[in-house]
Amino acid sequence: MTLDMRILDTQNAGFETELDNLLAWEAVSDNQVQHTVLDILHHVKTQGDAAVIEYTNKFDRLTAKAMTELEIGQEQLQAALDGLPDDQRVALQEAAARVRRYHEKQKQDSWKYTEDDGTMLGQQVRPMDRVGIYVPGGKAAYPSSVLMNALPAHVAGVDEIIMVVPTPDGEVNQLVLAAAAVAGVTRCFTIGGAQAVAALAYGTETIPKVDKIVGPGNIFVATAKRFVFGEVGIDMIAGPSEILVVCDGKTDPDWIAMDLFSQAEHDEDAQSILLSWDQDYIDAVKASIEKLLPTMERADIIRASLSERGALIKVKDQADAVKIANRIAPEHLELSVEDPEAMAQEIRHAGAIFMGRYTAEALGDYCAGPNHVLPTSGTARFSSPLGVYDFQKRSSLIMCSADGASELGKVASVLARGEYLTAHARSAEYRIKD
Amino acid sequence: MTLDMRILDTQNAGFETELDNLLAWEAVSDNQVQHTVLDILHHVKTQGDAAVIEYTNKFDRLTAKAMTELEIGQEQLQAALDGLPDDQRVALQEAAARVRRYHEKQKQDSWKYTEDDGTMLGQQVRPMDRVGIYVPGGKAAYPSSVLMNALPAHVAGVDEIIMVVPTPDGEVNQLVLAAAAVAGVTRCFTIGGAQAVAALAYGTETIPKVDKIVGPGNIFVATAKRFVFGEVGIDMIAGPSEILVVCDGKTDPDWIAMDLFSQAEHDEDAQSILLSWDQDYIDAVKASIEKLLPTMERADIIRASLSERGALIKVKDQADAVKIANRIAPEHLELSVEDPEAMAQEIRHAGAIFMGRYTAEALGDYCAGPNHVLPTSGTARFSSPLGVYDFQKRSSLIMCSADGASELGKVASVLARGEYLTAHARSAEYRIKD
């Protein structure tokens, strides 16, 4: 079965339209899904544990009678870690240590300054009290995602990290539990879907209400998160994963083919794109793809992803590549070029930038240190990797001296009266000295 | 007409329930509103300018024939500023200078570090390219809000700031236009409602597509922002404004009464609450409220707000006040006490903290420096004042040395195989040295 991959050229007429079509992605959340999710939210909000148990038994084919059966204790998490083969346990701990070290640098501190008249201004930074981590179950249960979601919250100083992970048919993923132990998860419930999001957002008799819910999930989970936004904070709504590789033609084409595969193997909707100004190199990567594809365990998924959503794009030169990269604002951007530092300077929009021939995107997924939860579908134009800053929040600090309040009061009074807000004006005027 | 204000005591049985009822607030966006907004979004997305003009003529009772009639040029903004009375122009510029100075401190810089094996990790911070500022029209058109929304974007380094402000019946607010000139707005369109949000989110022939939309609006605007989230970034969805004043009984009760009024005068849904451990003082503030209320221009709105949503709450002591403040997570928290710095340390959740007897909340609304766009309805548990950080975003940087990639590749390989992602594993393994 041959692979029919898009080959584009930025210099061809119609390229802009082809690119728009290539990138087009609409997260579908139809009316039926919305109504189902609204029902689930309502039932969990009003009936608490009973509704959570009922939905969990129904959707995950379980027979739980009480919430206690749907909680996994600390000793079980620890036992899962202790029970891992040595290489896995060491790799998990090594990855966690590196992720923790990188995220420590993201911690933001309170600051303040005092003006000449004694007025103090500043910002006080505090962690959230309690957050919820959604971890998908089944085949998409990734222990690395547990680390990437829980560790930033831990580093931020969040007191309680509540993890939910569905166990369809009772199947528990030991690596996921082990990761929860390594990442310092406080409590863990084996629930999922919109019912888990509802339980975290509203709280039940057993499950504590959280301040923010993060983590990826299917369309029901994403829709539920969108609906509870405002009641609690949420992270971004993730689309399919994508990689954009820029190569100057001097990296082993097998390496680049495998980098493209590593994105494509996630699922059929994942997107892998290569940009190069070297036509011979594009041909070489195409040959590597065709050579290596039959050797891949997930060949069918990779083939579907590359055929439907992949592309090899010939650009004019490095500047043209930068332009296209900024236009795409990719989740993962691999700069497999001679001087990646100079090129990275030109990049305005990307979730993560993997620089140089040695930096495979896969290293960032697991253990380099930076977070693997990244903005997808061009949302890097306005959003950032998940980080410690997502679990901290700020309060403005204002302490006026008597002199400061008097001077500021005059300005505030004029502006408040311009807005016809006279209580504002009079409140300020009380503090003006005679 | 007497004022019937809630008087509560934390030591009474049933206080928790009373507090829950007091704080209960549900932003209503009914089915009808949602369908209307979805229609508007769809028409603007597919028909561009024509749809924007049609909706604007209909909802704002205008007769525009082309988008050019709905754009206000730079020279008009500047003319509005030049035409202001001196005191207003100076006050606006003074406020802008202070807001800008404070927000400069929020700018975040890129950072990186190099590990022993030569691997470089970091985070690159960049401003967004283009953002949209929604400014309400009519009676809620606040020039101060133009400053508070546009200046942080300007400080962040955003290239283009597109402002939209409806002009119902063609009524233009000169102070708002003047504020746009002061704040460095790039382009200004006299459109509003869901059609303005749609135009900014999708772009039209005339109105450029933005990366993020910020600013307050009515229920149609809030609903539209919620729907376009993901296509563009949005700021928080604001509820009614609120203030929580904590007083030790030693501030002039007239001052505190006026501070409570300054919140209540916004609208009937606004919320003003006083906490004190001094019963006599609570009585004194109540007397001041009754004495001053008849002298207020917006007495009817203030009376409705204080009756429906206000409260004077007797707490046991300062520690009890801190506990209630953290439970409420107020938008504005005024600490009118002897040692506000010690007390502020104990506050975990608040949008802005106004410290000391001189620091009227109104000073913060206009000119102290910090932003007046703050998290409402308890969302200070998980969100922050609008700031420069809302207009910057980050890209992770990873550049592995050959040695670093080899060591990290071993860890990544083990974890990737544990997740059955063999393309990830092989991509990492290519970089392992023999």
Residue-wise pLDDT for A318-347, tens only, equals 999 999 999 999 999 999 999 999 999 999
B352 and B411 share one domain:
no
Domain-located, residue B391: no
**End-to-end CA separation in angstroms for chain A:** 88
Binding site feature residues of B for NAD(+)? 134, 195, 218
Tell whether the model's pLDDT for residue B296 goes beyond 90.
yes
CATH number of the structural domain spanning residue B248: 3.40.50.1980
Q: Is residue B395 situated within a structural domain?
A: no
Distance CA A275, CA A320 (A): 9
Question: Which amino acid, residue A3?
Answer: L
Domain boundary among A234, A261, A282: A234
Say yes or no: B257 and B214 in one domain. no
The single residue listed with the structure tokens 């023999």 is: B434
Interchain CB distance below 8 Å, A430 and B383? no
Smallest Cα–Cα separation from A173: which of A76, A268, A99, A87? Answer: A76
Same structural domain for residues B192 and B248?
no
In this structure, is residue A215 part of a structural domain? yes
Q: Regarding beta strands B6-9 and B71-72, do their DSSP bridges make them parallel or antiparallel, or are they unpaired?
A: unpaired
Work out the number of other CB atoms within 10 angstroms of the CB of residue B206: 17
A331, A195: one domain: no
For residues A57 and A152, state if they share a domain.
yes
φ/ψ region of A302 (left if φ > 0, alpha if ψ in -120 to 50, else beta) reads alpha
**CA atoms of A319 and A325, how far apart (whole Å):** 10
Residue B389, pLDDT score: 97
Domain stops at, among B217, B234, B251: B234
pLDDT for the residue numbered A29: 61
Same domain? A193 vs A209: yes
Q: According to the model, what pLDDT value does residue A3 have?
A: 81
Question: Among A24-38, B66-80, B176-190, B339-353, which is the least confidently predicted range?
Answer: A24-38
| Closest chain A CA to residue B399 | A355
Sheet (strand A187-189) strand order: A71-72, A187-189, A160-164, A130-134, A212-214, A233-234
Q: How confident is the model at residue B70 (pLDDT cuts 50, 70, 90)?
A: very high
- CA atoms of B333 and B375, how far apart (whole Å): 12
Q: Which residues of A touch B142 (CB under 8 A)?
A: 419
Identify whether residues B198 and B67 lie together within a single domain.
yes
Q: Give the chain B residue whose CA is nearest to the CA of A98.
A: B408
Same-domain check for residues B353 and B409: no
**pTM (two decimals):** 0.94
Domain housing B99: 31-115+126-234
pLDDT score recorded for residue B139: 66
pLDDT at site B27: 61
B255 vs A401: CB contact, 8 Å cut-off?
no
A412 occurs within a structural domain: yes
Amino acid A110 reads S
A346 found inside a domain: yes
Does the residue A210 lie in any domain? Answer: yes
Residue with tokens 């204000």: B5
CA distance B276 to B313: 7
Distance CA B27, CA A88 (A): 48
Predicted local distance difference test score (pLDDT) of residue B427: 95
Q: Do A353 and B424 touch (CB under 8 A)?
A: no
- The residue-averaged pLDDT of B407-429 equals 93
From B212's Cα to the closest Cα of chain A, the distance in A is 7
Residue A377 lies in a domain: no
Same-domain pairing of B270 and B282? yes
What is A94-140 written as a DSSP string?
HHHHHHHHHHHTT----EEEE-TTS-EEEEEEEE-SEEEEE---GGG
| Tokens 């007769």 found at | B63
The residues of A carrying an active-site annotation are 331-332
Q: What does the alpha-carbon distance between residue B132 and residue B136 come to, in Å, rounded to a whole number?
A: 13
Task: Give the mutation candidate from A25, A300, A396 for the B interface (greatest B CB count, under 10 A).
Answer: A396
**How does pLDDT run along chain A (434 residues), one tens digit per residue?**
568 899 999 999 999 999 999 998 876 567 788 889 999 999 999 999 999 999 999 999 999 999 999 999 999 999 999 999 999 999 999 999 999 999 999 999 999 999 999 999 999 999 999 999 999 987 667 899 999 999 999 999 999 999 999 999 999 999 999 999 999 999 999 999 999 999 999 999 999 999 999 998 888 999 899 889 888 999 988 888 999 999 999 999 999 999 999 999 999 999 999 999 999 999 999 999 999 999 999 999 999 999 999 999 999 999 999 999 999 999 999 999 999 999 999 999 999 999 999 999 999 999 999 999 999 999 999 999 999 999 999 999 999 999 999 999 999 999 999 888 999 999 999 999 97
Q: Each residue of B227-284: pLDDT tens digit? A: 898 889 999 888 889 999 999 999 999 999 999 999 999 999 999 999 999 999 999 9
Q: How far is CA B423 from CA A136, A140, A254, A312, B280, in A?
A: 21, 15, 12, 19, 73
Asked if A370's CB is within 8 angstroms of B393's CB, the reply is: no
Q: What is the pLDDT of residue B29?
A: 61
ipTM tops 0.90:
yes
A395 in any annotated domain: no
The reply to whether A42 and A181 lie within a common domain is yes
| Among candidate residues B194, B129, B144, the one with its CA nearest the CA of residue B164 | B194
Predicted local confidence at residue B114, as pLDDT = 97
Judgement on whether residues A15 and A88 belong to the same structural domain of the protein: no
Local structure of residue A211 (DSSP, 8 states): S
| Confidence category of residue B217, pLDDT binned at 50, 70, 90 | confident
If one counts the domains in chain B, the total is 3
Last residue of a domain, one of B320, B352, B368: B368
Pair B59, B185 in one domain: yes
Distance (Å, whole) CA B230 – CA B219:
19
